Every structure is written in structure tokens, then in C-alpha cells.
Amino acid sequence: MTIKTGLHPFKCIFFSLITIFSPITSADPSAAMGYSPKYPANFKHFDYIDPNAKKGGRLVLAGTGAFDSFNPFILKGVAAEGTGLLFDTLMVASKDEPFSKYPLIANDIQLAKDKLSVTFKIDKRARFNNGDKITAEDVKFSFDTVMSDKAHPQFKFMYGDVKDSVVVDKYTVRFNFKRLNSELHLILGDISIFSKKWIDGTSFDKLTEVKPVASGPYTIKEYDLGKRITYQRNKNYWANDLASRKGQYNFEEIQYKYYQDLVISLEAFKAGDFEFRHEYYSKLWAREHNGPNYDSGNILKENLSHSNNAGMQGFVFNTRKALFKDPAVRRAITLAFDFEWSNDHLFYNQYVVNDSYFSNSELQATGLPAGKELALLNQYRDQLPDVVFTQPWQAVSTESPNSLRQNLRKARDLLHKAGWRVKDNVLVNKKGQPLIFDVLLAQKGMDRILAPFARNLSKLGIKMNYRTVDRSLYIRRLRSFDYYMVVGSFPESMSPGNELRNMFHSIAVEKKGSRNFMGVNDPVVDALVEKIISSDNREDLVIACRALDRVLLNGNYLVPNWYIDSHRIAYWDKFNRPEKTPLYYNPEQWMISSWWLKD
């Protein structure tokens, strides 16, 4: 399933743009959040697509770690890369608009006048990969299944305001709402559709190694569990000539090969074992993407521009742990991280510090709260620290007139006020317990960043250890909140909404598998999240987002990391691509859907 434009559960690609909300009160083949959709009802293809793209050939990509499941909708196991290719959704997003939906399985959407239900009409041509027709019953079955206790809890956070799903007739399904929710009708278009025949009596939470009977453009051809998987184009895919699919999914086969880590996979890429790489590590990009195949032009490197919202990434404190209950302790630890030194010595000055949960967008809180934002925050003044109202939040910096020494002094003062003392070079609390914690990592490479951070903390008497574990174990521990600190990312869309419950709301704090990595359990945060979800105009949404941003930042739930305003990609020179690049996109997903092999 695709949650809003460009979002992906494990990759930090996030978006934001100005929009104004407006209801849909009549049947229409497309829908947008507060503006007329860019493409008319009779459009031929998206502008960032080449309708004449050649079909055929094999694309080889890389996965990391291993996989043991073909089911991306459950907590159990690790789903294979590319499983999204197996499932189509009711509607599809445009990558050059903030938040628009166009026909796919559903060719019509109607929001009721009271905004308390939405009705979808199913295209009578729609088929599963076994040739069966897709009906309203299948849509209801898919929705009810992912909303059950057998599925991943993220769906309940996203669609918790849906009262029920109702089959109106063979090709019409209606979703009734519990309350007003400004974006719910649009995100329901993101439901992935699969057949009852896939489940065939198996408990859904145990359905891992059965090939899906589903609706997408690809099927599973073959696999070696945990090592590689190959997808094959469905030759009878019904939507090949649909406007929202024209010129897309051009490779006859797409194969993922799995490697233990990103360093090993880079060497495999350079040797030609796979053909496209989105680079996440600044050091690898600066120092390792070179060699004979780069010099000869066989491998090409590019920095692709984008308009994505950067969201937030950071070293996340698990505030469920007693050690991190005190915001002063969390702030003190944050003061010991020197981003400027890391950017200069480790990142080759490729990054900008994350200074907001909505970084690089109009939703970001700046200065002091004023006007309507201040009025909103004043409703919770007795529940918030004074600093929210009296001091503009600023990311920790060591640029002049600041310095690491000054920051460590501030940290020492905070810890002293919180009852911590240094004894034999070890920081201990009143009970004599030391301030020691571990950072759980999933990839090699972060240790070089954490090592200087740990040295800085040691000057305060704090011991920070870090450990890299295999991806499967990492995911299990992440889902069960079995960690003190992790590197966490918080994706944001162009129009934040229901996904915020999964990341910051108290309903997610003890729900295994949620993205509330920080353990946020704050009634003010809850109220602001609900305010965002219920906002019926853009101004109110922006104000509520800025208020939420300010409260989260002053909660000191993480040590802010960094972001980059371009996509670093490398690929073998064997592909063509559309002339126009989308605005809001994940580069690998765009490559898979829109590129094709040269003659």
C-alpha cells in the first residue's frame, strides 16, 4: 500500500507543499486535497512518464539482510523487497502534485455531502493476477483483513476513523466514518487489494510464504528465500493502457539480490551484480563511488533535485525507559552531539541539520509562537514548559559564538540540577546508578558517527555503547521497543494527517509495531495531532503542525540528525528515462516504475 505520495515504511523520503482543503461532493474520477486535480478526466498519461517507453528486459536491484515473507501487511517476519509490485490500490497518486488521486482499480470516488462517508466505483475491467474480476466484496475483504488483529497495527492508526465498509452492489463499496476526518476519503484510495484465494483459510498473521493472488502489475516468478526474489510482469495485466499506468512498469523482470550490508552491496554494484543504487551514506558517495567503470562511463552518478519535505531523523530516546524519563537528561545528552564537526569531518559537508519534524517546509515552527498558533498553544499553557512560549527552539550548534565546550558546560549544569553527580569519572544518580545506555544499529557505518559523540559524552561521565545487529533481529527489537536508543526517522507527507497517530499519539505508545519509537505519551501532543487530522482548511492545519512541531522539539525526544536536498543515485548506463523528473518521489521507486532498458 502507498500512504500518500512517496512515503515508504523504511526510507526517509518525505514531502510538503501548500494546499487548501475542499470537499468532494459529487462523483469524479479523480480527487485532490483542496484544489482541482492537474490532470483532466480524459488525460492520457502523467507528464513525468514516457508513454512510448519500451517494454522488456530484466532490472536487478539490491536488498539488505534477508527476507522470509511475501506478506507486507503483518508484523511477523520481514517482507521481501518489491512486494508492493504485487498489489494495486483503489487509486494512485500523482508524483507532480501535492496530494491528488487518479483512477486505478476504482474509476470513481464520491465524498458524501456530510463528509461522513466515501463511495468508490470499481472499474469492471479490473482483474487479479489469476484472471478473477475484482469486485466490491474483494475491496471490503481486503480492508477488513488489514484492519483485523491479524494485520500490522499501522492500518488501525491510519483508518481508525472508519466505522465500517459496506458493499453497495457488485462494483460499488462505501466506507462510513465515525467522525469528520479531512483526508480520510483520499487515503482510503491507498488500500491495497488482494483476493480471498490468497488466504484460503490460513490465518492472515501466519501467511508468509504463499504467493499472493493480488492485483498489481507483477507476480512472483521464483525465489530463494532470504537470498533473492524475481518478479515477472503479468502479461495479462488489465491496466497496461490505463492513463495512470501508461508507460510504466516496463521491465519484464525485476530481481532483488540480498547482501549483508550496504558496504558489501556497493562492491557488488561496482562489479555489475546489480544496476541501480540510491546512496544513503555520504562517505560512500564521496570516496567509494569510483573506479574503472565510473571512469569509462559504464556507471553514471547523479544528484537529482526534488521538492520533498525532509521530515525528521535523529538518535531516538526510548522514553519508556526510566533512564530517559527526564527531559533535562535528554537535553543534556543532545548538547554533546557536534553536528558541525561531523558534517565537516565525516559527511563531506553534504548535509543540513534537521531543525524540525517538518524540516524544509512551511509547516516548520520558527521564532516564538504568535497569532493563531499562540492562541492554540495557550489552551495548553499549564501543561507545557515555559520555554515553549519564551524561547525560540534552535538546534544545538557549535558554530561561533557557540562551542562544544560551552554546550558541555550547559549539559553538566542540567545534569547537576537533575540530581546527577560525577563519581570516579562516572555520572551517577542519587541511587548511585550510572548513566549508561546502548544504541541499537541495523547497518555498519554509523559507528564512525557515534564514536565522537560517545567521546563527548564521556567528558560528562556518560557511557554510550553501540551495537550493530542483523536486520531481522533489529526489526524484532524495534517493533517491541526493546532498545534504549535507535536511529529513527519520522516521515511526513505534503499534507500531514492520520499517520501522525502512529508516530506521536499515546494510542501507539505501547502498541507493538507502531512508529512511536520515542514513546511519546503526552495529552497535548494527542490534542494537536487530532487538531491536524480534523483541520478543514490549510491555515488551521499549518498552525496546528507548527504548534505540534514546537511541542515535540521542546520535548527533547531525540538528538536531531541531518538531511540532504537531493537524491544521490548511481546506475549502469543501460537505461532510458522520461525527460521530465517528478517533484515528489523516491528515486528507486521512480526508476522501477518509469525507466526502461536501452535498445
| Average pLDDT score over residue span 395-420 | 97
Average pLDDT value for residue range 2-25: 35
Please check whether residues 593 and 537 belong to one and the same domain: no
d(CA 409, CA 397): 14
Do 393 and 249 belong to one domain? no
Q: What is the CATH number of the domain that holds 324?
A: 3.10.105.10
Cβ contact 343:349 at 8 Å: yes
Do 479 and 578 belong together in one domain?
Answer: no
For 457-492, the DSSP string reads HHTTT-EEEEEE--HHHHHHHHHTT--SEEEEEE--
Distances (CA, A) of 275 to 31, 270, 306: 36, 9, 22
Asked if 441 and 337 sit in the same domain, the reply is: yes
Alpha carbon distance 588, 14 (integer Å): 14
CB 132 within 8 A of CB 189: no
Lowest-pLDDT choice from 457-466, 487-496, 547-556: 487-496
> Is residue 446 a part of any domain in this protein?
yes
Strand order across the beta sheet in which 436-441 lies: 463-468, 436-441, 485-490, 312-317, 558-560
Same domain, 572 and 556: no
Taking 50 as the threshold, does the pLDDT of residue 10 lie above it?
A: no
Structural domain contains residue 136: yes
Q: What is the pLDDT of residues 100-159, one digit of tens each?
A: 999 999 999 999 999 999 999 999 999 999 999 999 999 999 999 999 999 999 999 999
Q: How far apart are CA 536 and CA 28, in angstroms?
A: 20
Q: Residues 564-568: what's their mean pLDDT? A: 93
- Predicted pLDDT at 28: 75
Contact yes or no for 279/285 (Cβ under 8 A) = yes
Let me know whether 212 and 350 are in one domain.
Answer: no
What does DSSP assign to residue 123?
A: P
DSSP 211-251: PP-B-SSEEEEEEETTTEEEEEE-TT-TTTTSTTTTT----
Nearest CA-CA partner of 232 in 243, 222, 242? 222
Q: Are residues 110 and 141 in the same domain?
A: yes
Report, as an integer, the average pLDDT of 237-256: 97
Q: What is the mean pLDDT of the segment spanning 35-58? A: 95
Residues 462 and 593 in one domain: no
**CA–CA separation, 308 vs 494, rounded Å?**
8
Same domain, 393 and 427: yes
pLDDT value at 45 more than 60: yes
Domain presence at residue 543: yes
The answer to whether residue 24 scores a pLDDT higher than 80 is: no
Helical segments of 107-233, H only: 136-146, 154-158, 184-187, 196-199
Residue 157 lies in a domain: yes
Report yes or no: 61 and 255 within 8 Å, Cβ to Cβ.
Answer: yes
pLDDT at 13 (0 to 100): 27
Average pLDDT, the chain: 93
Cβ neighbours for 526, distance < 8 A, ≥ 6 positions apart: 505, 506, 507
Residue 254 to residue 276: CA distance in whole angstroms:
12
Mean pLDDT (whole number) for 424-436: 97
- The predicted structure's pLDDT at residue 387: 97
Query: Lowest-confidence range among 31-40, 360-369, 375-384, 450-459?
Result: 31-40
Is the residue at 98 inside a domain?
yes
| Contact (CB, 8 A) for 336 and 407 | yes
Q: Is the pLDDT of residue 182 over 80?
A: yes
Which is higher by pLDDT, 121 or 307?
121
Q: Give the CATH number for residue 92.
A: 3.40.190.10
Task: Indicate the number of domains in the chain.
Answer: 2
How does pLDDT run across 48-102, given as a tens digit for each residue? Answer: 999 999 999 999 999 999 999 999 999 999 999 999 999 999 999 999 988 899 9
Residue closest to 190 by CA, chosen among 200, 175, 177: 175
Q: Are residues 427 and 455 in the same domain?
A: yes
User: What is the arithmetic mean of pLDDT over 23-50?
Assistant: 81
On whether both 318 and 239 belong to a single domain, the answer is no
Burial 319-356 (b: 16+ CB within 10 A, else e): bbeebbebbbbbbbbbbbbbbeebbeebbeebbbbbbb
Q: Give residue 27's pLDDT.
A: 56
**252 pLDDT above the threshold of 70:** yes
Domain, as residue range, for 450: 312-563
Q: Is residue 4 part of a domain?
A: no
Q: Is residue 293 part of a domain?
A: no
Say if residue 1's pLDDT is above 80. no
pLDDT digits 0-9 by tens, 474-491: 999 999 999 999 999 998
What average pLDDT does range 323-337 have in this prediction? 98
Instruction: Say yes or no to pLDDT of 19 above 60.
Output: no
Residue spans of beta strands (DSSP E) within 284-407: 299-305, 312-317, 352-353
443 compared with 176, residue with greater pLDDT: 176
Note whether residue 199 is domain-resident: yes
If asked whether residues 453 and 590 sit together in one domain, one would say no
